[in-house]
A and B are shown apart, each in its own frame.
Chain A
Amino acid sequence: NAGVTQTPKFQVLKTGQSMTLQCAQDMNHEYMSWYRQDPGMGLRLIHYSVGAGITDQGEVPNGYNVSRSTTEDFPLRLLSAAPSQTSVYFCASKAGGAHTGELFFGEGSRLTVL
């Protein structure tokens, strides 16, 4: 079972470059979300989506864009990378409503911005 698949697993960028982190799930989950995890900060919600065509901002959305054209895919775009965006990024999905249900996480994408 694939579950939630993130690519790439590792990426190094230079300041100002743009890139897209890909996330796909095969569980037919309506809800998908992106988190970043930094030491001592826990998981912070960047953006989330409750279904195809619907996205909303989380706690730390600045510098990131998302789109949800299909149920399966939820890419995260960094428009102009900054060193402050060095982090581990996790995509997650779940069934159920916005505030209930188990989150299934991808394996993470480790991003370094120089």
Chain B
Amino acid sequence: RKEVEQDPGPFNVPEGATVAFNCTYSNSASQSFFWYRQDCRKEPKLLMSVYSSGNEDGRFTAQLNRASQYISLLIRDSKLSDSATYLCAVNSRSFGAGTTVTVRA
């Protein structure tokens, strides 16, 4: 079993829609969780860290569920500029394969 697994998508949504996807991890002792954004042919960049209490950054909300060992990312009011691949990361070391989101006009 892979250490980190993600919904691969692709999620194809209209502007203004809400999209959400998950990432599961296998190591219950994992300490840190992150969402990175990767644009086509570019390097990953941190979108947000994920805290136990959940956290929000503008239109983005991240949740951590330790009991079920997954993290989630929700994007509200999607913009064309949100089109990207979203990578979850665990322990600043292990990455999921990415979830591709395409926002259409």
The residues of A with any CB-CB pair to B shorter than 8 Å are 31, 33, 35, 40-45, 48, 58-59, 90, 94, 96, 98-103, 105-108
Contact = CB atoms under 8 A, between A and B. Distances in A.
Given A42-B96, A90-B44, A107-B43, A102 B87 contact: no
Grouping DSSP codes into helix (H, G, I), strand (E, B) and loop, the B interface class, with mixed when no group exceeds half, is loop
Given A43-B44, A107-B43, A99 B32 contact: yes
A108 B43 contact: yes
User: How many residues of B sit at the interface, in one of the four size bands?
Assistant: 20 to 34
A103 B46 CA distance: 7
B95 interface: yes
B44 A99 contact: no
B97 A103 contact: no
A102 B49 contact: yes
Contact of B31 (A40, A99, A107): A99
Contacts of B44: 43, 90, 103, 105
